[in-house]
Structure 1
Amino acid sequence: MVEATMVVAQEASIHGDMLETILSYVPLIDLVPASHVCKSWKRAVFSSLRHLNKPKPWLIAHTHTTSHAFDPRSHVWIEIKQQQPPIKQQQQISTLRSSHSNLLYMLSPSKLSFSFDPLHLTWHHTDAPLVWRVDPIVAAVGRHIIIAGGTCYFEDDPLAVEIYDVETRAWELCDPMPAILKDSSASTWLSIASDDLKLFVTEKHSGVTHTFDPETKTWSGQYDLRPDPCIFYSVIAFSDDRLILAGLIGEIDNVRGVKLWGVNCESFECEEIGEMPLEFLEKLKGESFQLSSIAVCFAGKVVNIYNPLMAEEVFMCEFVDGGCQWWSVRNAAANRWNRMETVVFTSSKVGIEDLHRAVWSENRRFAVVSPE
């Protein structure tokens, strides 16, 4: 597309508003070479991104062998043709996982590898925590990586908490999780969200919520995140600087709705933001017409909601002018995956600078899969 645009530009001397308009239709990945054509093209690229068709957070689906990213600005799926080396090195002994929207990690008995940049080009490696865990909650808060709960049956404390300081590269054992979480101290039962200061932990079925401050190493709570008594399952995440609660209304075999609330992080009062359209809810349920859980990925003002048992379609909600705009995304990459592979999602704000770094990284290539 960029090559065709350049030919037209040479023949007709396209510039100014007309060039910006044309570039607003070009996929973000193709704007990287376009920005290097000349100074006027570079100005047009960035002006188009600021004023005509602003970038929206990407949804990225990862397996052990590849990644596929959806760019909602241009409605295309992009295949990241080569995955990160640490995943290949560890795939025999650990599972690729994601946490609170943009933390990608692998935990083995001997090593923790994690990445939280937008396209996961940079990985960090350290020794595994002292307590061995099979299903912990893992979160990035500021310069800290927090690992809690999810311990093996032979460990003494199922509520054990450890913190890794990215700057000092040291582990520290902290006070355990609140005792009320003893029977649910694993990522299977807990939903987490984090900002630069605190970790928020919510029990998915009860709404019981606590917070953890890695600087003071203290837990606070408990708080109740059940704005509607009909919620039977809920998850949390951050949208920019606002904590969001997504809840299933009804029962497993009769889900009546998926609603979103904004949460005041001081009082923990909830204000309803919006509700998923019924036609999307039916698709989310799938052929079984039951829905026992949902998963979410947030970045910026966009939330991605999907059925963790059926990742072929993702439902996006963008917060606009106090309301919600909904649309669905058919996963164009799903039929390329090995059905035995674990698929995890992250969501990130991706800019021209991130893509420039990715395009010119050694052994890294991108290819557009298809329009959505």
Structure 2
Amino acid sequence: MSDHNPKEPNINSLSLDLTQLIFSSLPLPSLLRASAVCKLWNSLISSPSFTSPCLSYPWFFLFGLHNTSSRNNQSFAFDPLSNAWFLLPRLDDPSSSSAFLGSNGFFFTTTPNFSYTPVLKSAWRFTSPLKFSRLNPLLGVFYDGSSGGLGFKFIVVGGVRFIGGLVDIEDRLAVEIYDPNRDSWELCPALPADFRSGNSSQSLSSALFKGKFYVSGIYSCFVSSFDLRNRVWSEVQTLRPPGVIFSFLIPCNDMLVLAGMCNAPRGPSFNLWKIDETTLEFSEISIMPQSLLHSLVESEEDENFASLKCVGMGNLIYVFNEEYHQKYPSCLCEISAENGKCSWRRVPRLPLPVNKFHKVISFCSTVSLTHSFPQQ
């Protein structure tokens, strides 16, 4: 005999629309648990019509690569709504390559073979060969309305090319666009020669914004944009606010943001500027609180700040220290869509144990439900 009192409310007696509305208020980890309760809930949450604010919040992904033992590789994902880190299943490398990269929603290998997989679902897919294979290029995932089928394309920019194990000093700074529906690469106009002295993701940052792929020099402060429709590069300009030591270009909801380390008269600071994409004029919108900045480094010496990295998208910007002995501390800035106000907070420490990595890959991505939980 059931213990349920028919006069008491029962979620199973609610309409499907109301049940979906309740689910839409849950953070993603709770949605994953709810989807495993029964087939009905799974179908409601996985329905194409289901929407949730948690799907628009970019997660922070941190992938640690060990150069001698892949068993020591670790993948972490931070959910800003639940304010929690998750240790992801170990990501198997399909080509035994150290050339891992990440970009909105995907992990990639670029050499010896180009392949990709959704970040939360290990399902590697190999592509036809790049015309110019390379290490550490910039990568972007974009939607141009003409892709059909899978609906997305990849753009690969710059990187280091090897011939016979040696760096190709005559590298063409190649730019290629991949169409997964045709499994084909399109060779595009090369990255401007101004970026030749540092054309890998180690010295460049990128931002996809309003149909353009922006490339900026982290230290040189050179900036140029590639028009994804017309396949042309803009004139190279310099974007260096006063005192900037190094900087990263970040695509936010309706604006470009430059995030950078400054050597100001009042002392070291980490600043954010709003960038006018037409004129490249800048205006300061926020400075990281000093207490947060000091929590990311051991001391205020310049060399300690050099290990700070920055990624972001949507309304969130993450700043972290990629040094192992610091255990990769990080913080985030949330930019209000209503008034543009910036709110900073510390991100919890990574869940222990944290292995020692020789390379750290970081990026932001929204999370697709279809790649997050098993179908029943």
TM-score class normalised by the smaller sequence: 0.7 to 0.9
Residue 112 of structure 1: aligned partner: 114
Q: Cα distance 1:299–1:161, how it changes in 2: closer, same or farther (>3 A)? A: closer
Question: TM-score by structure 1 length?
Answer: 0.76
Matched, 1:317 2:333: yes
Q: Which moved more, 1:162-171 or 1:228-237?
A: 162-171
Residue 176 of structure 1: aligned partner: 190
Deviation sequence 1:144-203 (CA, Å, 0-9, x none) = 322324223235334233332233221233332212222122222211111362210111
Question: What is the CA-CA distance between 1:105 and the residue it aligns to?
Answer: 1.5
Residue 93 of structure 2: aligned partner: 88
Question: What is the CA-CA distance between 1:277 and the residue it aligns to?
Answer: 0.3
Q: Residue 328 of structure 1 is aligned with which of 334, 346, 351?
A: 346
Query: Map of 1:68-147 to 2, 5 A cutoff?
Result: 68-83=76-91, 87-91=92-96, 93-99=97-103, 102-109=105-112, 111-115=113-117, 117=118, 119=120, 123-142=124-143, 143-147=153-157
Q: Which moved more, 1:124-133 or 1:229-238?
A: 124-133
Question: What is the CA-CA distance between 1:82 and the residue it aligns to?
Answer: 4.6
Matched, 1:258 2:290: no
Kept in 2: contact 1:299–1:347 (CA 8 A):
yes
Question: What is the CA-CA distance between 1:266 and the residue it aligns to?
Answer: 1.7
Question: What is the CA-CA distance between 1:296 and the residue it aligns to?
Answer: 1.9
Question: What is the CA-CA distance between 1:328 and the residue it aligns to?
Answer: 0.8
Q: Cα distance 1:130–1:73, how it changes in 2: closer, same or farther (>3 A)? A: same
Residue 257 of structure 2: aligned partner: 244
Query: Map of 1:19-38 to 2, 5 A cutoff?
Result: 28-34=28-34
Question: TM-score by structure 2 length?
Answer: 0.75
Q: Cα distance 1:278–1:121, how it changes in 2: closer, same or farther (>3 A)? A: same
Kept in 2: contact 1:160–1:176 (CA 8 A):
yes
What letter is aligned with 1:77? Answer: W
| SS of alignment partner, residue 182 of structure 2 | coil
Question: What is the CA-CA distance between 1:315 and the residue it aligns to?
Answer: 0.6
Kept in 2: contact 1:191–1:201 (CA 8 A):
yes
Kept in 2: contact 1:233–1:293 (CA 8 A):
no
Q: Cα distance 1:325–1:178, how it changes in 2: closer, same or farther (>3 A)? A: same
CA distance in 2, matches of 1:39, 1:161: 46
CA distance in 2, matches of 1:237, 1:38: 40
Question: What is the CA-CA distance between 1:206 and the residue it aligns to?
Answer: 2.8
Question: What is the CA-CA distance between 1:316 and the residue it aligns to?
Answer: 0.7
CA distance in 1, matches of 2:250, 2:350: 25
Matched, 1:235 2:248: yes
Q: Cα distance 1:40–1:82, how it changes in 2: closer, same or farther (>3 A)? A: closer
CA distance in 1, matches of 2:210, 2:5: 45
Matched, 1:338 2:355: yes
Q: Cα distance 1:26–1:288, how it changes in 2: closer, same or farther (>3 A)? A: same
Residue 283 of structure 1: aligned partner: 295
Aligned residues: 338
Q: Residue 67 of structure 1 is aligned with which of 70, 75, 81?
A: 75
| SS of alignment partner, residue 247 of structure 2 | strand
Deviation sequence 1:93-135 (CA, Å, 0-9, x none) = 3332235x655321212x11124x5635554421332324233
Question: What is the CA-CA distance between 1:13 and the residue it aligns to?
Answer: 4.3
| SS of alignment partner, residue 31 of structure 1 | helix
Q: Cα distance 1:281–1:339, how it changes in 2: closer, same or farther (>3 A)? A: same
Kept in 2: contact 1:140–1:146 (CA 8 A):
no
CA distance in 1, matches of 2:154, 2:81: 32
Question: What is the CA-CA distance between 1:221 and the residue it aligns to?
Answer: 1.6
Q: Where does the alignment leave 5 or more consecutive residues of structure 2 unmatched?
A: 65-69, 144-152
Q: Which moved more, 1:58-67 or 1:320-329?
A: 58-67
Q: Residue 222 of structure 2 is aligned with which of 197, 202, 208?
A: 208
Question: What is the CA-CA distance between 1:81 and the residue it aligns to?
Answer: 2.9
Kept in 2: contact 1:150–1:158 (CA 8 A):
no
Q: Where does the alignment leave 5 or more consecutive residues of structure 1 unmatched?
A: 1-6, 363-372
CA distance in 2, matches of 1:286, 1:9: 59
Q: Residue 280 of structure 2 is aligned with which of 264, 268, 272?
A: 268
Question: What is the CA-CA distance between 1:314 and the residue it aligns to?
Answer: 1.1
What letter is aligned with 1:113? Answer: S
CA distance in 2, matches of 1:9, 1:250: 67
Question: What is the CA-CA distance between 1:306 and the residue it aligns to?
Answer: 0.9
